[in-house]
Every structure is written in structure tokens, then in C-alpha cells.
Structure 1
């Protein structure tokens, strides 16, 4: 990437500078032909050399395929594949349903997220993967399921939330490379009240707006990623008694902003390429991987035999200390550009 910046790349064009960055990155259909690298911050950056989560795996399915947002850093894709196997082992259906990861070259998205820009974020639905694979149409139209009781303020619905939900969220937080797991404040509160496992892992579970229909996994900058900007460390304790967490259950976070009658309205300026790390212009200008490289082994790879979900295990510590190994007849994909 550094050689490319210093060699053939001459900088963004005038048209690129005038175009919102979300349109430029949203138009990219394939990743750049470069080494995998996260560039910038989770909410202000891009990525080179992305790989894609296969649309179908033995213990996962990618959702909302039309968005073309199942691209990520190889570390993120490998983590999702491992987590999907562990979730199935915990009794989470036959695996996980994966929502948005990132666009092929990362960057700001046309809609939905402010983060997910450097390939180190991924959304996992609070709906287990069903035993029968979902059709492409079902993946587009299947509704989300909120874990909240809509009749009560910030309260988890006991008819929907189960101990398995809790184990799956805490399993996601258990991996060393996972830095944060974002959930709705009500879900964090429920875990604070009921979790009896390793309480220090609760410090990784962070409350945030929304996130009642899915949880958001964020991994740390991979080793050697000099251009990846790190985030502040999470609390080492469970963070269940902090003032910052209690704030979510006051009126302040949910109150509409009060307009200042003396302040002239300012039209928001869209984020442009110049607002992102300089290397992001090179990522956009870089050639794409060839069509042959855009599939694993040069051809589509299909999973025709869906394995039965493993037997659930009650003790999550047993899973953490002894990660399950997939059966020999289950194909385990390796990092690839597209599948």
C-alpha cells in the first residue's frame, strides 16, 4: 500500500473530492487487489484487501445479500466462522445469521451505520440460523426480532430472552481479539442482573442505542496494522455499577435535542474523501481482484449437506477452554475474496 501511494497514485480527482465518500465507497463492488489492512478508525476509514464471508456455511448464513456488505478483514471473517461453530455448540439453532460487516473497500456506507468502515465490525442477529437454509428472498425479507418489551421502558422481554441468548453474547465477548460487543442498554442490564460466569467479560459488553434486534461484534486492530487507530480500553470490571451505565436509564439519552432559537441552522456537510485517511484514496483507485479471484478456488462453492447442530453445552467456560472442532465431513473455508 505504501509503495502504491508513493508510486503510481497521484491523489484524488476533483470529482472525487466533491462527491460524498459514501457514494464513492458504496459504488465499489469488489475489494482492492492489495494486502489486507484496516486504514483509520472504525467510524472514519476504509480497508484494503478485504475478503468476504461466504453466503452459506455449515453454521452460518449471510443476510441481506443485496447490500453487498459481507466483506471484512480476514481476522474478522475467521472470527465469525469460529463464533458460528461455538454458537451452534451452545444450542443456538444450527448457527448464526450474519448481518452487515463492511463494504468491499470499507468506508462510509450509503445507509445505516457510522462505523463498520475498516472491516473489523460485524452484526449478528438475535435470531438463530434455522435448520433449513434460508432462500435469497427470505434473507432479504425476514424481519428482525427485538428482545425488548415494547410496553416497558428499557426492559428485556422475558418471553423472548433466554439463557442461551445470554451465553451466546458472552461467548462473543470471550475471544481475546474481540474488543467490544454492543447491545441495547436493557440487554446489558439483564446480563448484569443474571450472568454468573466470568463477570470481567461484561466490561466488553457495551450499551448503545438500538441493538435490540442484533448485537455488534468489534475486534481490535490486528497485530502489525500500523494504520489502524485503536479505541480506548474497556473497563476491567463488569461496569454494571458505573455512573456512565446508569446514565442510560435516565431521561437524558432519550430526550429530543432542544433547538437553540438564536442559532442559525447549519446544513450538515457530507464526509468526503479528504476527511478520511489519505490511503483511502489509493484504495478506491486500486484495481479490483479479477473475477477468478472473486470466488474461492475460481468457482462457486456450495454447501449441500447441512450438518446437524451439535449438542448444547451448559457450561460456557468449557467451550471457551476447549473450542469445538467441526466434524471431518464439514468443509471449513479459508480466507477468500468472495463466496
Structure 2
């Protein structure tokens, strides 16, 4: 899968930091892709990063991977290390349009922006794309490289959405990087602009961190990524942010532009969450774009990786009524 020769032996090369995508993998050895081997399912596991698998490959070159991709990390040479899984959630952007609500569709996957081929590209696909960007829907779905050809890879082809999906990855398609087209067929959209209140749902991302679970907090609102000021920024706010990204919670809330200053607007300030909210917009704040700060105060977080949850189990004793009776007990909290 990595374009190298046979594996010489398995070794440990340290613990990874993101989610664990595979466990109990059983291959015959003739498969072209780990996805073709027997396994319980993606992200189905009962282990921690202490059990991360590693390989040392013999150096040679072969054809590049087809669907799943793997990379090697922390080895002494490029052909040995621990494998890590690519991220699950796609992000989209529009490129080369005359306005912010139109352009060539590009998709961020595994750290690389790629395009989408226009085979089967229609209005339901465009609706899903535009809603991912915070627009209410699409005005048109465009084909044949309408806004010019892209330059990187082609991630998707033959995308078929019903139109009510929340992400393009929920739509039918042959698989990532499975296509029979060129950039002359890059898909594009024109999203519906609105003079009404923008959509309510916020999206968040982490920027400039050393790992995928840390970074400056940026929030997507009405098609624009903005930052959050650190006034009143604390652990409950960070918990809500991390859960929005699919993590079990936060390890720390950071302030004073810890991961560097942002460049766009500042959407939120004086955010005060209880900690059980599902989105930052459900927390108390003065209002969008209401702030008295600069990017030197941009808020940041370090999220807990899923493997950290077991380490956070704590036993507490409680007593109800008379401590001499059996009303007491022990319960466990996260």
C-alpha cells in the first residue's frame, strides 16, 4: 500500500495521537488494500495507542494505494513507523469564483485539498456542498471545469446525493480517489446567498496545532472562518468545542493566541458555557462579532484523544442518609 516491498518484521515506533481506525486486522497477504482484509469495521476497537502497530518495509517502489491510505510516523527511516488513520470528516471550500458563494468545489481530506469530478454532479450534490459551507442551499451545479481546473488530486467522482445529507461523504460514491476523469471535469457550484439571518449551526476547526487534537479555535459562520477571543474562555467552553469536533472532551483551554493569531474576523467573545451544550452558539455570549479584543487574544484548545478517556475514571464515595446504614455506595464519574 505504501509503494514499498515486503514487510521485514513488525516493530513498535511509539504511540499515535488520533483516532484508532482498525483493530483485529486479519490479512491473507495477497490483498492490495487493508480495507480488503477482515476486520470488525472502521473505528471499531478495544485498544489504546499503547498497542499501535508498526512495520519495517523493504525498500522498493510499487503502484500507489487505491482507497485507504497509510503513512509512517516517527521512524528512523522513511520505510518504518507507526500507522495513523486519516481524518473522518470532510471540509469543503469554493475556489476561483467571482463572489464568495461560487467556485470550484475543493475537498479537504487527510490534509490535502482535492477536487470532485462532474460525473453525476447535479443540484442535490450542490445543495449538500453549499450547506456544508453554511449556505441555505445551491442555486446551480456546474460542470466541465467551469471555474477552471484544479491542480491537486481528484478525491470524488460519480457523487450521488439525495440532497438531505449533512456531508458529501454521506452520499453514494465509488470511494475516495476512485475516478476516471481529469481536472477538465472539475465540479463547481453557485450557492444561494441570503439577506436573512445566516444558518444557525456553527462548525469549528483547530488550526496551527502540532497534532490534530489541538490548535487555535476557528468557527465557520455564514461561509466565513473566524476566531474566538479568550475573555472568559475556560475548560467548559473547551469541552463544548472539542465535543463539536467528535472528541470526548477537552484537556485544556488556552488563551493569548497560544497557537498564533488568526487573520479573518473575530466571531465570539466572552463565551460562557456550562459544559453540557452541544454547540458554542448555545452558550452565553454578547452576540456574533461583538467583541473588544484583537487576534492576540485568540482562544485555543487541546482536546482529549479517545484513548485518554480510560485514564480519567475516578472513584467517588457518597453517603445518603445515615452513614451506618447500607444507603452508602460508590459510583464512578468521568
TM-score (norm 2): 0.26
Question: Which protein has the bigger strand share?
Answer: 2
Question: Higher RCO, 1 or 2 (CA under 8 Å, sep at least 6)?
Answer: 1
TM-score (norm 1): 0.25
